[in-house]
Amino acid sequence: MDGWNVKPGTIFMAGGIRPDGYRGSALPYVESRLKPETRNLKRIWVGWGMPVSGIIRSYMRTLSARTLAEYVEIALHEHRQRPFLRDLTGRGITYGEAGEEIAQLHQIFRAAGIQSGDKIAILGNSCVNWGLVYLAGVTFGAVVVPILPNFTPSNVHNIINMSDSRIVFVAAGMLEKLGDIEFPHPEKIFLLEDFREMDLNRRPEFVRKIQQGFLRFKERAHLYLGRHRREEGAYTPREDDLAAIVYTSGTTGNSKGVMLTQRNIVENVKCCHRFADLVPEDRFLSLLPLAHTYECTVGFLFPIGAGCSITYLESKPSPKVLLEAFIQVRPTLVLMVPLIIEKIYFKIVRPRIEKNVVYRQLIRFPFFRRLIYWAAVRKLHKSLGGCLKILAIGGAALNPEVETFLREGGLPYLIGYGMTECAPLITGSTRAEVRFQSCGYAIEGSQIRIDRPQRMTGIGEVLVQSPCATQGYYKNPEATAEIFTPDGWLRTGDLGRMDSDGFLSLIGRSKNVVIGPSGENIYPEEIEHWLNQSPLVLESLVVKKDGRLMTYLVPDYEAVMRHLELAEADDLEIQKRIASYFSAVVNEVNRRLPDFSQLSTYELREKEFEKTPTEKIKRFLYTGEA
């Protein structure tokens, strides 16, 4: 079969290649048309001029890996000629070049006295060198400690010291966050831009020069790495070796170090291949921080197995930067948190529809609504580069109105559910299997169950058993004991219900539940969903205050000015119109709610709520809870 070329659109299925080990025969079955996806067969798209047997062999080798290190090493070798990582405005490297630089980074580790099991911290925005240090760490047998770039200096100090990190790779622009960190941890600091070791005694002077603009960094990592020759003989990581300690930035305010092994991560990565078909020509555009497990596993490690290319923005995505990136990269797959696509819909799509008098009337009828959404999705797809074949959404619940828009408009999307403690994927589904307001079914090899479901609603805490589940929290046995049930199931802290097919729908967080006057369970997230349906409400937060349920509302002030026609109104009239509108919003929501869930009042906020990297509100800051 070597050298056998097939036409675009042909589908290859490797019989027996399943997510539960990804082993079996490589007998191909070729079709000329796409059939409904099944759970038992893995499909591989084949393009012009690609030898079929080579694709099958490469695919099977990668997915047969038992450790993350083995998975990475196979992928780097199999795809060595293909483009790999690229900074949007900087350098790009192939898989083969990445392998060489990783080998040279291993020499830097050895020179710094790093051994297998030692901790290596990374602090910086997502970029080529961030990915290289991560891959070098996990293939060396070290433990990578990713630090979210929006952590405060005190957070950074605590994580470096709590994790026992011996060396830190830090972006020059974030050196200030290290400040006067106490030693012995870390022992050495390296710049992420060019991998140079910093003189610890001259760090304040170096930071001052950066602030004053005296130092300018260019992509010269290859010059520094060139001084480190590759050496043979290295430790081979084992399945149960720690690969990463990930410190969460959760909604409770308590950051804990989640321990993930080589097996935890690689099994999760292999499960990703079950839900989405990738080919080497696929292009990923990274929008989320690599230090977050969602982006690291699904947006970084997953595409490596298929030899895809990944582009990094290098900075926080502004609307202008995003637009330019989509046009330049023309990605085929993008990971988003719901807030991004929701803002696109509520800020751009819906206002345009509402401005059109005809659309405003027709959208009430399902047939015409689908036509209107289809036309809007075509424009959106073009603005996203025109090549998007999958929009992967995760990290929080997706607004139902937005999901209706995606479904009826025909934008290809996937929704999954996970948590850092599971590396992170817990549930997912293929494009053909996506169900409205569901996050899919348990990944292969895992089980989920609902703990003590309520008789009427079936709602209870989601529990998980999975080969991807964490060993626990680093140096925190009390928290580790709390997260597991006596029979070994991991507590997610999320409330949900399952249908008869095993598809999971999430309701909210168990810690957020408010107890009603007669012991009823009130789910703030459900009330917030109804509040957020208002076109003038950006976001809301329902809390219990002075024994009564109330909500904070963040208005879309630009939309408020337009919709309520406030431009020429005096102050008294402005206050009157605003109060009238938002009182009506709360009253309308109350009409949907049972008596025990009624909102007593509301307060308007000028600023948006502080959020985690996946755009979930840090509720503890506004509820008074620790």
Q: Give the per-residue SS3 of 80-103.
A: CCCEEEEECCCCEEEHHHHHHHHH
Domain locations in the chain?
11-64, 90-261, 513-623
Between 597 and 44, the higher pLDDT residue:
597
200 pLDDT band (50/70/90 cuts)? low
Q: What pLDDT is attached to residue 316?
A: 72
CB atoms within 10 A of CB 32: 9
- Output the CA–CA distances (angstroms, integers) from residue 92 to 95, 132, 175, 298, in the order listed: 10, 12, 24, 20
The confidence score (pLDDT) of residue 611 equals 84
Task: Output the pLDDT for position 625.
Answer: 42
User: In this structure, what token pair is assigned to residue 430?
Assistant: 């293929």
250 confidence band (pLDDT: 50, 70, 90): low
CA dist 585 and 594 (Å) reads 16
What number of other Cβ atoms are within 10 A of residue 60's Cβ?
Answer: 19
Task: Tell me what pLDDT residue 213 has.
Answer: 52
Tokens of 357: 């008098």
pLDDT tens digits for range 407-456? 999 999 999 999 999 999 999 999 999 999 999 999 999 999 999 999 88
- Between 190 and 520, name the one with better pLDDT: 190
Please report the pLDDT score of residue 183 as a whole number: 55
* Torsion region of 195: left, alpha or beta (phi above 0 gives left; psi -120 to 50 gives alpha): left
pLDDT one-digit tens code per residue, 390-407 = 999 987 788 899 999 999
536 phi and psi, to 5 degrees? -100, 5
CATH of 513-623, one of 3.30.300.30, 3.30.70.100, 1.10.10.10, 3.40.50.720: 3.30.300.30
- pTM beyond 0.85: the answer is no
Give the DSSP H/E element, type plus range, for residue 137: helix 128-140
What's the CATH fold of domain 90-261? Rossmann fold (3.40.50)
Cβ-defined contacts of 366-372 (< 8 Å, 24+): 369/408, 370/408, 370/409
User: Helices (H), strands (E): how many in the chain?
Assistant: 21, 29
Res. 46: pLDDT tops 70: no
